[in-house]
């Protein structure tokens, strides 16, 4: 049996392949036949490049149906897909390309000049362009290829994708996900969330990370269900398309915006059966306000780049209720435990380190065997780095012992608008700037984004630091979601007796923008 993830999707395509697979926000229709032919053409192009086995295809392009086809074609051709956030700047792309050594890089036409220089610097010989308006050299070259392709056979343990997920120290790590990791999780969510062939997914998420690319897209593809495809969150488009949709996935920011829209009410979403929230904690205030406004209870879940989905509030009421502030129950086939610092299991209600095990847990970090070994326990459990508890209570309400609540992170990760922000990376950029002695980056509460990035900077003696100037410089070097919303200039940073910066003190001191 071919374990290639695309072969699994292909087996679930509807019998009527002339049916609509994807409808775009601007009125385009792609049938299942269109998807099959487009992925075949791109897979033939990639195969014609005679790439080595396991070659990586790095992609930094705007969201489009053709970008999804590129992902599926990469799988189909037996290669490894490497999605990159569209906000990444040259210094970041230089690191990813240098580390992953992709055989192919695909970028937007606007970035071709500098991306191609980075690619050639690292001996990547094939650079294509792909734009959201269905133009670019990738499609021009693929158009000349045959529209039939036999999906390349792959084993369960063969790599399907590498997702870079930064650490709080050092540079980014490439999480290696296999065909089995992704297939098992897609099949589990298919059952857990009641996916049906007549579902219609409103897809407004980016497709460069787990939530939009794997959880949302895989769900619809595996169900043979239609997607309505929009480039990003847009309330006018939500109001237009929600009446025809049955499923929507979003980060908490999406639901905050929806609740703020007076026209978003029960009538608009009467056809919906499931709203899913993830990638960041959902405020109880938003959870309650959304239910009051629409009559729908948002389903919260928990996952990571290294594991895809791990835990979910129940879809089926017979399995339990959806409890705000919790991430629910471990998914079938996934084991979750909460451990204390001595490696003992915590009792319900006791906070500890969240560890997980299952067929969805990644193969390891790309070219980092020592780091991989550190992140797994002796008995094979992955240390998530998150802190949580089973049971206890949330906002004064009792929580069953089988439900997991994530209460924080063992490291200083910031989650802003659903995106992971790692302080050490931003601090390294700030510390290089003229007049800066040192810096500390923290997250502070933000009603819209969950957390906002704030920098606390110590200036060198006699130096002057301009907040707007520092922020402006960072905007040219790193992704916008990483750029601090505020910069506070101080004489010194608070430290403990061991000399470590006390970021908890900084968070208390600068807890508002």
For 261-315, how does the pLDDT look when each residue is reduced to its tens digit (9 = 90+)? 999 999 999 999 999 999 878 888 889 999 999 999 999 999 999 999 999 999 9
CATH of the domain at 425: 3.30.300.30
Measured CA to CA, the distance from residue 386 to residue 411 in angstroms comes to 8
DSSP-derived secondary structure letter, 269: T
Instruction: Name residues whose C-beta falls within 8 Å of residue 152's C-beta, 6 or more positions apart in sequence.
Output: 4, 76, 77, 78
How does residue 397 score in pLDDT terms, banded at 50, 70 and 90? confident
63 within a domain of the structure (yes/no): yes
342 within a domain of the structure (yes/no): no
DSSP 405-453: EEEEESS--EEETTEEE-HHHHHHHHHTSTTEEEEEEEEEEETTTEEEE
Is residue 498 scored above 50 in pLDDT? Answer: no
Measured CA to CA, the distance from residue 375 to residue 315 in angstroms comes to 31
- The residue out of 154, 183, 210 marking a domain boundary is 154
364 within a domain of the structure (yes/no): no
pLDDT digits (tens, 9 = 90+) for 110-135: 999 999 999 999 999 999 999 999 99
427, 350 contact by CB (below 8 A): no
Closest of 463, 447, 444 to residue 455, by C-alpha: 444
- The residue out of 119, 154, 189 marking a domain boundary is 154
DSSP-derived secondary structure letter, 14: -
| Terminal Cα distance for the chain, rounded | 55
Measured CA to CA, the distance from residue 401 to residue 395 in angstroms comes to 16
Q: Which residue has the tokens 């919260």?
A: 300
Token pair, residue 293, equals: 């406004």
DSSP-derived secondary structure letter, 104: E
54 within a domain of the structure (yes/no): yes
Measured CA to CA, the distance from residue 56 to residue 48 in angstroms comes to 15
CATH of the domain at 43: 3.40.50.980
- The residue out of 154, 179, 199 marking a domain boundary is 154
Measured CA to CA, the distance from residue 130 to residue 63 in angstroms comes to 10
**pLDDT value of position 341:** 85
How does residue 499 score in pLDDT terms, banded at 50, 70 and 90? low
Number of domain units in the chain: 2
How does residue 412 score in pLDDT terms, banded at 50, 70 and 90? confident
pLDDT digits (tens, 9 = 90+) for 8-25: 999 999 999 999 999 999
Q: pTM of the predicted model, to two decimals?
A: 0.87
Beta strands at 382-390 and 404-409: parallel, antiparallel or unpaired: antiparallel
CA atoms within 13 A on the CB side of 187: 16
**pLDDT value of position 264:** 96
pLDDT digits (tens, 9 = 90+) for 326-364: 999 999 999 999 999 899 999 999 988 999 999 999 999
Query: Where in the sequence is the domain holding 55, given as residue range(s)?
Result: 1-6+31-154
50 within a domain of the structure (yes/no): yes
Measured CA to CA, the distance from residue 270 to residue 268 in angstroms comes to 6
222 within a domain of the structure (yes/no): no
215, 259 contact by CB (below 8 A): no
Task: Provide the percentage of residues in the chain whose pLDDT is more than 70.
Answer: 97
Token pair, residue 275, equals: 């709203």
Is residue 497 scored above 50 in pLDDT? Answer: no
**Backbone Cα Rg of the chain:** 23
283 within a domain of the structure (yes/no): no
335 within a domain of the structure (yes/no): no
Measured CA to CA, the distance from residue 49 to residue 104 in angstroms comes to 9
**pLDDT value of position 167:** 45
């Amino acid at each position: 049996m071919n374990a290639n993830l695309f072969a699994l999707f292909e087996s679930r395509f509807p019998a009527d392949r002339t049916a609509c697979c994807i409808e775009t926000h601007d009125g385009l229709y792609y049938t299942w036949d269109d998807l099959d032919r487009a992925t075949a053409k791109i897979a033939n192009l990639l195969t014609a490049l005679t790439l080595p086995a396991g070659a990586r295809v790095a992609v930094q392009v705007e969201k489009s149906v053709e970008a999804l086809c590129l992902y599926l074609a990469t799988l189909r051709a037996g290669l490894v897909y490497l999605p990159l956030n569209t906000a990444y700047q040259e210094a970041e792309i230089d690191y990813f390309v240098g580390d992953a050594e992709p055989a192919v890089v695909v970028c937007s036409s606007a970035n071709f000049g500098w991306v191609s220089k980075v690619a050639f610097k690292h001996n990547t010989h094939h650079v294509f362009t792909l734009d959201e308006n269905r133009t670019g050299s990738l499609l021009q070259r693929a158009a000349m290829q045959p529209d039939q392709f036999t999906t390349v056979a792959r084993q369960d343990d063969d790599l399907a994708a590498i997702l870079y997920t930064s650490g709080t120290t050092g540079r980014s790590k490439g999480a290696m996900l296999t065909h089995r990791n992704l297939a098992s999780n897609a099949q589990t969510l298919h059952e857990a969330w009641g996916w049906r062939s007549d579902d219609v997914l409103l897809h407004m998420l980016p497709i460069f990370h787990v939530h939009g690319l794997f959880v949302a897209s895989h769900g619809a593809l595996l169900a043979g269900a239609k997607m309505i495809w929009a480039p990003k969150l847009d309330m006018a488009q939500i109001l237009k398309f929600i009446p025809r949709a049955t499923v929507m996935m979003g980060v908490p920011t999406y639901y905050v915006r929806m609740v703020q829209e007076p026209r978003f009410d029960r009538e608009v979403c009467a056809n919906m059966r499931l709203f899913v929230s993830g990638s960041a904690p959902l405020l109880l205030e938003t959870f309650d306000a959304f239910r009051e406004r629409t009559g729908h209870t948002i389903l919260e879940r928990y996952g990571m780049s290294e594991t895809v989905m791990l835990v979910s509030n129940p879809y089926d009421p017979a399995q339990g209720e959806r409890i705000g502030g919790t991430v629910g129950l471990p998914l079938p086939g996934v084991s979750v435990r909460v451990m204390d610092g001595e490696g003992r299991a915590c009792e319900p209600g006791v906070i500890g380190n969240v560890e997980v095990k299952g067929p969805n847990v990644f193969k390891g970090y790309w070219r980092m065997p020592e780091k991989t070994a550190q992140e797994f326990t002796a008995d094979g459990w992955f240390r998530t780095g998150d802190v949580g508890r089973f049971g206890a209570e949330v906002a004064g309400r009792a929580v069953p012992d089988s439900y997991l609540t994530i209460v924080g992170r063992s490291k200083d990760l910031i989650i802003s608008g659903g995106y992971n922000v790692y302080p050490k990376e931003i601090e390294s950029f700030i510390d290089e700037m003229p007049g800066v002695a040192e810096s500390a980056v923290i997250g502070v509460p933000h009603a819209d984004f969950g957390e906002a990035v704030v920098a606390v900077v110590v200036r060198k003696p006699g130096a002057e630091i301009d907040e707007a100037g520092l922020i402006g410089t960072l905007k040219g070097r790193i992704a916008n979601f990483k750029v601090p919303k505020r910069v506070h200039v101080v004489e010194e940073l608070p430290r403990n007796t061991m000399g470590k910066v006390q970021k908890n003190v900084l968070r208390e001191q600068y807890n508002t923008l």
